[in-house]
Amino acid sequence: MNGDGPLAGLVVVDMGQLLAAPEAAMLLADFGATVIKVEPPTVGDISRKSGWEVNGTSVWWRWLGRNKYAVTINIKDPRGQKLVRRLIDGADVLIENMRPGKLEAANLAPEDLHSTNPDLVILRVTGWGQTGPYSDRACFGTQVEAMSGFAAANGQPDGPPTLPTFAIADAAAGYLGAFSVMTALHGRDKHPEKRGEVIDLSLMEAMFGLLGPQASAYSALKAMPQRIGSRSPMGAPRNIYKTRDERWLAISCTANRIAHRVFTLIGQGHLLDDPEYSTPEGRLRNVDKVDELVQAWVGARDGNDVIGQFSAAGATVAPVYTIADIEEDEHFASRKMIVDVPMENNESLRMQNVFPRFQHNPGSVKWSGRELGADNTAVFMERLGLSQQEFEEYKRDGVI
Amino acid sequence: MNGDGPLAGLVVVDMGQLLAAPEAAMLLADFGATVIKVEPPTVGDISRKSGWEVNGTSVWWRWLGRNKYAVTINIKDPRGQKLVRRLIDGADVLIENMRPGKLEAANLAPEDLHSTNPDLVILRVTGWGQTGPYSDRACFGTQVEAMSGFAAANGQPDGPPTLPTFAIADAAAGYLGAFSVMTALHGRDKHPEKRGEVIDLSLMEAMFGLLGPQASAYSALKAMPQRIGSRSPMGAPRNIYKTRDERWLAISCTANRIAHRVFTLIGQGHLLDDPEYSTPEGRLRNVDKVDELVQAWVGARDGNDVIGQFSAAGATVAPVYTIADIEEDEHFASRKMIVDVPMENNESLRMQNVFPRFQHNPGSVKWSGRELGADNTAVFMERLGLSQQEFEEYKRDGVI
């Protein structure tokens, strides 16, 4: 049960469910950590039954459970609590996402865990955080996407606030959670007198952090992000335009010189004598006119022609892709961004690769999410030394 | 020049511009790393002049530059190249986001850097990655948001694909980049024979990874995310609804039992005898009707009433917030999610705090982004030992 990769030797117990916490654990497993995923017996992780299913198991589990060892423990049973405690006592990291107080109710309070494993890093993931007036309320990604400021500034100006289709808040918390675990481990290893750590990661803060300096803009200037379709408060042109052959292209001008290239290319170079079009502030003031000029030029041409001319002019353009387009794109293929991963019955499943790529000691995908309890024997008998009799008894009583 | 926090003692040279790479470096600085930000003389980082400005400097720089030491070096000048090389030779981490080949053109190729500092972790951030047919093309967050699948599935069904107003792709790469640096450092410290690392982080892969198992759903089932407004392919009801007093509320039912609570609350409990409404699959098939029932109940009540009744019933609901609402919310205040950070002239600026929070050895915000070259003396003379004469000469010649 030892992987390779930069995190080889690191032992992680993943008691999270569904998305943010298990994704943090998955990133650690991707880079070689030994991640033992603990699920409730019989039902398993919620992600096993969440949306699109392949052979009766959701693609969410098959992705989030990859590279992990799957065991079952009923942590409501005192024997289950002792069993998971033995796993945690031998681990570097515990990841959990129960509502505040539930870990404590299972006799697994952080201070208790630190009494026998003082070096343990505990990542606690919740919607609201461990403290504060809302901490007892249920909170999932949707609520975070609504309250962080994202939805209010997502969508068309004449339409409603719009939630994302993708689970952005959870995934952001997964990335930030994995970073915070590695940061706490570094602190522990470099400053051993500091020992273990308890990390209070809220989906709300992970998402709010992702959205940039809106608090600064608002408090100093009373400026705030608005629902402006595909435009951006940082520059113009930046939008999605429709070509003659009905393709959607995204064009943006992060740097002023790129905007100048675009104006020259679309035959409007004469406007660059006017600060209303030659400066970022001027173009933002005249964004309707700017978009009209770009759309008129793009709309008179086919997509490949526009992409070719923009690229030759050193201007940034990209087509709007679906996953079907991605699967056919030569760059995605060349980078092996999607790989075939072994599943049960000698089948395989395509899923995203390990990101980012390390030149010398990279991560890898070894297997997709396993069947419920697939590693009970290896973990409980071989690793923890449970006897055959105990194992059978625990199984019979629903402890595992 | 030594911070506290779990990353105290870690030295990072940040040669990135604008967003993803500097955000990764900012996360390291937040937790105590000594981050030396290298900017081109005179013009500085692009983020200093990007959108909303306070006292003539953008809020982006004030946020991304926080906790960092600001120095200027012209890396097109051979003396500048030698100077930055001396900084890098004394660092643990180099972060850069030049187009592929540009670092090499500045005589700073990874293999050269490793020849004098074999333990160096080099994070290279680009739009497309260091390899592949598109790697020479310009690519910013907008293009990534278009090609990763995000825009195609964001927005209303009868509207166009929609880009996010916030710079999601860059910020996601910032989170993932910070994680990957800490992971490579762990590998270096635990397996010293492996030494330093070169990390190839593309915005495209950071964003594609954020979007979940779309590749699995598509390859196995030909299913793909669609533009469905605020709905979700994972369950119903999940949408934004308008109250009688014209507030927008986000309601979601990640778990089936929560959907049952909602149906009972809105007086539709009798429908739960019908699998078309009692199961997640059934409700997704009847999502128009489900949304109609929820909207009718919500639309007949004021927002506070709906929030109160939903919360009491154990159902998840949240208002759509702007940053103005966030600044007035007691939970955000209680968690100190926004803090006052020192700026020049004894002024201060509100910005998001360090996330997540560590119980024993936390990060902190000590200062906001400094003036261009503010730390040239401290870094070049005190740290690198440049003489007064060299310093003046370099300044005169635009090397620093």
The amino acid present at B200, given as its one-letter code, is D
The token duo for B138 is 């310009």
Q: Is B78 on the interface with A (CB under 8 A)?
A: no
The token duo for A121 is 């890093």
Distance (Å, whole) CA A170 – CA A149: 15
Active site residue B170: yes
Distance (Å, whole) CA B85 – CA A245: 50
List all residues of chain B from 22 to 41 with a beta carbon under 8 Å from chain A.
27, 31
- β-sheet bridge partners, residue A201: A125
Predicted pLDDT of residue A305: 98
Q: What is the ipTM of this complex?
A: 0.98
In a domain, residue A5? The reply is no
The token duo for A302 is 């086919």
Q: Are residues B27 and B91 in the same domain?
A: yes
Distance (Å, whole) CA A30 – CA A350: 16
User: Smallest CA–CA separation between B303 and chain A, in Å?
Assistant: 14
The pairing of beta strand A348-352 with beta strand A338-342: antiparallel
Predicted pLDDT of residue A51: 86
Predicted pLDDT of residue B138: 83
Distance (Å, whole) CA A148 – CA B376: 37
Q: Are residues B66 and B109 in the same domain?
A: yes
Q: Are residues A51 and A127 in the same domain?
A: yes
Which of B146, B242, B359 comes nearest A200 by C-beta? B359
Question: Are A224 and B198 a contacting pair at CB < 8 A?
Answer: no
What residue of A is the nearest CA neighbor of B45?
Answer: A255
Query: Higher confidence at residue A387 or residue B139?
Result: A387
In chain A, residues with a C-beta closer than 8 Å to the C-beta of B369 are none
Q: Which domain holds residue B381?
A: 11-210+338-396
Which of B5, B250, B327 comes nearest A163 by C-beta? B250
- Domain end, chosen from B263, B287, B319, is at B319
The answer to whether the beta carbons of residues B78 and B382 sit under 8 Å apart is: no
Disruptive mutation site among B49, B186, B338 for chain A (greatest number of A CBs within 10 Å):
B186
Q: Are residues A89 and A202 in the same domain?
A: yes
Question: Are A50 and B5 a contacting pair at CB < 8 A?
Answer: no
Please enumerate in sequence order all residues whose Cβ is within 8 A of that of B126, keeping only pairs 6 or more positions apart, or say none: B97, B98, B99, B100, B135, B139, B200, B201, B202, B203
**CA distances for B291 relative to A291, A346, B251, angstroms:** 35, 42, 10
Q: How far is CA A115 from the centre of its chain?
A: 32
**CA distances for A302 relative to A256, A299, A308, A319, angstroms:** 26, 8, 10, 12
Q: Is B138 on the interface with A (CB under 8 A)?
A: yes
In chain B, residues with a C-beta closer than 8 Å to the C-beta of A50 are 234
Q: Are residues B110 and B50 in the same domain?
A: yes
Which of B171, B211, B233 comes nearest A212 by C-beta? B171
Q: Are residues A272 and A362 in the same domain?
A: no
Q: Is B355 on the interface with A (CB under 8 A)?
A: yes
Q: Which stretch of A301-310, B45-54, B204-213 has the lowest confidence by average pLDDT? A: B45-54
Q: Are residues B120 and B164 in the same domain?
A: yes
In a domain, residue B346? The reply is yes
Distance (Å, whole) CA B200 – CA A335: 11
The amino acid present at B266, given as its one-letter code, is I
pLDDT category of residue B30 using cuts at 50, 70 and 90: very high
Predicted pLDDT of residue A137: 87
- β-sheet bridge partners, residue B358: A199
A40-72 burial, b at 16+ Cβ within 10 Å, e below that, comes to: bbeebbbbbbbbbbbeebbbbbbbbbbbbbbbb
In a domain, residue B225? The reply is no
The token duo for B199 is 């990390």
Q: How far is CA B117 from the centre of its chain?
A: 29
List all residues of chain A from 293 to 352 with a beta carbon under 8 Å from chain B.
311, 314-327, 329-331, 334-335, 337-338, 349-352
What residue of A is the nearest CA neighbor of B65?
Answer: A213
User: Smallest CA–CA separation between B234 and chain A, in Å?
Assistant: 5
Q: Is the peptide bond before B280 cis (omega within 30 degrees of 0)?
A: no
The amino acid present at B3, given as its one-letter code, is G
Predicted pLDDT of residue A111: 97
Residue B193: CATH number of its domain: 3.40.50.10540
Q: Is B52 on the interface with A (CB under 8 A)?
A: yes
Cα dihedral sign, B79-A254-A169-B198: negative
Distance (Å, whole) CA B217 – CA B153: 14
What residue of A is the nearest CA neighbor of B315?
Answer: A138
Angle between helices B203-210 and A168-190 (to 10 degrees): 110
**CA distances for A277 relative to A46, A234, A266, A291, B361, angstroms:** 53, 15, 13, 12, 50
Tens digit of each residue's pLDDT (9 = 90 or more) over B239-252: 999 999 999 999 99
Torsion region of B23: left, alpha or beta (phi above 0 gives left; psi -120 to 50 gives alpha):
alpha
Distance (Å, whole) CA A239 – CA A225: 16
> For all residues of chain B together, what is the average pLDDT?
96
The answer to whether the beta carbons of residues B144 and B204 sit under 8 Å apart is: yes
Q: Are residues A200 and A91 in the same domain?
A: yes
Distance (Å, whole) CA B106 – CA A302: 39
Give catalytic residue positions of A: 170
User: Smallest CA–CA separation between B25 and chain A, in Å?
Assistant: 12
pLDDT category of residue B50 using cuts at 50, 70 and 90: confident
Question: Are B167 and A337 a contacting pair at CB < 8 A?
Answer: no
Q: Are residues A186 and A97 in the same domain?
A: yes
The answer to whether the beta carbons of residues A303 and A249 sit under 8 Å apart is: yes
Q: Is A355 on the interface with B (CB under 8 A)?
A: yes
- Domain end, chosen from A258, A285, A319, is at A319
Q: Is B400 on the interface with A (CB under 8 A)?
A: no
Residue B309: CATH number of its domain: 3.30.1540.10
Tens digit of each residue's pLDDT (9 = 90 or more) over B335-370: 999 999 999 889 999 999 999 999 999 999 999 999
Question: Are B224 and A324 a contacting pair at CB < 8 A?
Answer: yes
Angle B278-B284-B288 (CA atoms, 0-180°, nearest 5)? 105
What residue of B is the nearest CA neighbor of A24?
Answer: B179
Question: Are B351 and A216 a contacting pair at CB < 8 A?
Answer: yes
Q: How many CA atoms lie within 13 A of A157 on its CB side?
A: 7
Over residues B226-233, the mean pLDDT reads: 95
Q: Are residues A345 and A313 in the same domain?
A: no
CB pairs under 8 A between A and B: 532
In a domain, residue A114? The reply is yes
In a domain, residue A99? The reply is yes
SS (H, E, C) chain B: CCCCCCCCCCEEEECCCCCHHHHHHHHHHHCCCEEEEEECCCCCCHHHHCCCEECCEEHHHHHHCCCEEEEECCCCCHHHHHHHHHHHHCCCEEEECCCCCHHHHCCCCHHHHHHHCCCCEEEEEECCCCCCCCCCCCCCHHHHHHHCCCHHHCCCCCCCCCCCCCCHHHHHHHHHHHHHHHHHHHHHHHCHHHCCEEEEEEHHHHHHHHCCCHHHHHHHHCCCCCCCCCCECCECCCEEEECCCCCEEEEECCCHHHHHHHHHHCCCHHHHHCHHHHCHHHHHHCHHHHHHHHHHHHHCCCHHHHHHHHHHCCCEEEECCCHHHHHHCHHHHHCCCEEEEECCCCCEEEEECCCCEECCCCCCCCCCCCCCCCCHHHHHHHHCCCCHHHHHHHHHCCCC
Q: Which of B86, B84, B78 is nearest to B96 (CA)?
A: B84
Question: Are B7 and A186 a contacting pair at CB < 8 A?
Answer: yes
The number of distinct structural domains making up chain B is 2
Q: Are residues A313 and A345 in the same domain?
A: no
Q: Is B57 on the interface with A (CB under 8 A)?
A: no
User: Smallest CA–CA separation between B286 and chain A, in Å?
Assistant: 15
In chain B, residues with a C-beta closer than 8 Å to the C-beta of A111 are none
Which of B161, B212, B331 comes nearest A132 by C-beta? B331
The token duo for A362 is 């990279």
Per-residue pLDDT in tens (0 to 9) along chain A, 400 residues: 666 899 999 999 999 999 999 999 999 999 999 999 999 999 999 999 988 999 999 999 999 999 999 999 999 999 999 999 999 999 999 999 999 999 999 999 999 999 999 999 999 999 999 999 999 888 899 999 999 999 999 999 999 999 999 999 999 999 999 999 999 999 999 987 878 999 999 999 999 999 999 999 999 999 999 999 999 988 999 999 999 999 999 999 878 999 999 999 999 999 999 999 999 999 999 999 999 999 999 999 999 999 999 999 989 999 999 999 999 999 999 999 999 999 988 999 999 999 999 999 999 999 999 999 999 999 999 999 999 999 999 999 999 9
In chain B, residues with a C-beta closer than 8 Å to the C-beta of A211 are 166, 171
Distance (Å, whole) CA B7 – CA B32: 5
- Domain end, chosen from B284, B319, B354, is at B319
In a domain, residue B325? The reply is no
Disruptive mutation site among B45, B216, B232 for chain A (greatest number of A CBs within 10 Å):
B216
Disruptive mutation site among B142, B158, B211, B353 for chain A (greatest number of A CBs within 10 Å):
B142
pLDDT category of residue B2 using cuts at 50, 70 and 90: low
The token duo for B174 is 């910032």
In a domain, residue B220? The reply is no
SS (H, E, C) chain A: CCCCCCCCCCEEEECCCCCHHHHHHHHHHHCCCEEEEEECCCCCCHHHHCCCEECCEEHHHHHHCCCCEEEECCCCCHHHHHHHHHHHHCCCEEEECCCCCHHHHCCCCHHHHHHHCCCCEEEEEECCCCCCCCCCCCCCHHHHHHHCCCHHHCCCCCCCCCCCCCCHHHHHHHHHHHHHHHHHHHHHHHCHHHCCEEEEEEHHHHHHHHCCCHHHHHHHHCCCCCCCCCCECCECCCEEEECCCCCEEEEECCCHHHHHHHHHHCCCHHHHHCHHHHCHHHHHHCHHHHHHHHHHHHHCCCHHHHHHHHHHCCCEEEECCCHHHHHHCHHHHHCCCEEEEECHHHCEEEEECCCCEECCCCCCCCCCCCCCCCCHHHHHHHHCCCCHHHHHHHHHCCCC
The token duo for B341 is 């950070």
A179-214 burial, b at 16+ Cβ within 10 Å, e below that, comes to: bbbbbbbbbbbebeebbbbbbbbbbbbbbbbbbbbb
Q: Is the peptide bond before A40 cis (omega within 30 degrees of 0)?
A: no
Q: Are residues A343 and A267 in the same domain?
A: no
In a domain, residue B44? The reply is yes
